[in-house]
Structure 1
Amino acid sequence: MQEPLVVIVRATITFFVIFLYARLIGKQQIGNFTMFDYINGITIGSIAATLATDLNMSAFIHWLALTVFLVLTILLQLVGLKSRLLSKVQDAEPVVLMEKGKILEKNLQKVRITKDELMVQLRTKNIFSPDEVEAALLEPDGSVSILLHSDYQYVQKKDLNVSSQRTKLTTEVLIEGELIEQNLRQRNIDYEWLLGQLKAKGIHRLEDVSYAAILPNDTLYVDLYDDQLDDEMNISDYPGPY
């Protein structure tokens, strides 16, 4: 019974030590999550887990190693603030992956990113045609920043001198056939309006609806379980298994 009690006490202490150290490191570690930050975080977590469960060694030894990692992490952050050169050595620089719609193969090879991975990053930015891209940069934290070609940049209301209105959020009203009455009331919509909208779309049973939501423009979006789609959008050339 003594060992479980010791583990509980050490785990509790470790929990609050990690909480305190995370506050000391600050939000920079989370906001700019580079590969170094990722590996450093895993190492600190591993030391903390050992501190909580390894009863064969003194807790002080593990706590000391944990503290050393914390101090070194904070020192590197301070060095990065003082020295631009050392900051670039620590966090690297952005790498241009595309320019004027052209893929820069040498830079892709340098950062070991495939064209398929680059296309995935473009699609996550709602870009499905590479020639829309003026520039694409791989940031130090692994994200890809995109600058659209001027022909494909979005026109904003201020460019057209159009008055703007308060933006609403999308409100879910049906999930897995279950009605969310509270959300209907929040949007000042009654049940009869919802039924009328569904009937206008040829839907007569709530059980057929997988997901329905009132969009910011007060229209109803509906997704059914039976989507009745063809295979036209299948872009895979991999035969399986999946």
Structure 2
Amino acid sequence: MDAWFAVNWYELFVPSNSILELFIRGSIVYLLLFFVLRFIPTRQLGMLGITDLLVVVLFAEAAQNAMATTYTSITEGVALVGTVIFWSYIINWLGYKFPLLQKFLNPPPLLLVKNGRLIERNLAKELITEEEIMSQLRQQGIELLKEVKIAYMEADGGISVIPHNSKKDNIAEK
């Protein structure tokens, strides 16, 4: 019965691995996943940004390991979570400070439809079928392709659409 309430405080807080090693391991995994995910077609990521996805996945993994005693100390889990926060912040900060890098981190919008015509090359690049783009257009209240002035795949995987009858068109006609 005493074993139920015994706490090994040393094992709970003193890491069994070097904090530097944990930082290096966490950094390698984060950066490797970031670069792999950066080149996956955007539509497969949905509405979640790359760094958001990495943070969620790696937080869950690091926290789970610390709580499930896969690591022998809470300190190791905290070090890995800190590493994820560090790289997430640094990558976003670098993208903010250096616009050229931002273009790599978050791809520019990709033209999918122009004046009612599909841009087949760009659809193929993102692995989007005509049925899928039409589904996205219908969800935005557009029934026919010819109603679309321009449609873009945004960096977050969403599709923005400007129909021919937009407010800008109406102002230009007056």
The verdict on a shared fold, with TM-score over 0.5 as the criterion, is: yes
Q: 2:113 is paired with a residue of what secondary structure?
A: strand
Contact 2:151 2:160 in 1 (8 A): yes
1:117 aligns with 2:128: no
After TM superposition, the score normalised by the length of structure 1 is 0.48
Contact 2:55 2:85 in 1 (8 A): no
CA distance in 1, matches of 2:116, 2:152: 12
CA distance in 2, matches of 1:75, 1:100: 40
Offset at 1:56?
A: 4.7
CA distance in 2, matches of 1:94, 1:154: 21
Offset at 1:36?
A: 3.8
Higher relative contact order (CA 8 A, sep 6+): 2
After TM superposition, the score normalised by the length of structure 2 is 0.65
Q: 2:75 is paired with a residue of what secondary structure?
A: helix
Q: Which has the higher strand share?
A: 1
Q: Which has the higher helix share?
A: 2
**Aligned pairs for 1:170-209 within 5 A:** none
Name the counterpart of 1:153: 166
Q: Which runs of 5+ in 2 are unaligned?
A: 14-46
Identity of matched residues, %: 24
CA distance in 1, matches of 2:105, 2:87: 13
CA pair 119-35 structure 1, distance change in 2 beyond 3 A: farther
Q: Write the letter of the residue equivalent to 1:61.
A: E
Selected match of 2:84 from 69, 77, 81: 69
Contact 2:71 2:77 in 1 (8 A): no
Contact 2:111 2:122 in 1 (8 A): yes
CA pair 141-65 structure 1, distance change in 2 beyond 3 A: same
Name the counterpart of 1:39: 54
Q: Write the letter of the residue equivalent to 1:82.
A: K
Q: 1:93 is paired with a residue of what secondary structure?
A: coil
Q: Deviations over 1:33-73 (max 9, x none)?
A: 32342233212222122222225522211211110110111
**Structure with greater Cα Rg:** 1
Q: Write the letter of the residue equivalent to 1:64.
A: A
* Count of aligned pairs between the two proteins: 129
CA distance in 1, matches of 2:67, 2:135: 40
CA pair 61-132 structure 1, distance change in 2 beyond 3 A: same
Contact 2:51 2:88 in 1 (8 A): no
Name the counterpart of 1:23: none
Q: Write the letter of the residue equivalent to 1:52.
A: M
Coordinate RMSD, CA, aligned = 2.7
CA distance in 2, matches of 1:78, 1:36: 12
Selected match of 1:57 from 72, 86, 103: 72
Q: Which runs of 5+ in 1 are unaligned?
A: 11-31, 159-242
CA distance in 2, matches of 1:85, 1:154: 32
Selected match of 1:130 from 126, 129, 145: 145
Offset at 1:80?
A: 1.1
Q: Write the letter of the residue equivalent to 1:153.
A: S
Q: Write the letter of the residue equivalent to 2:166.
A: Q
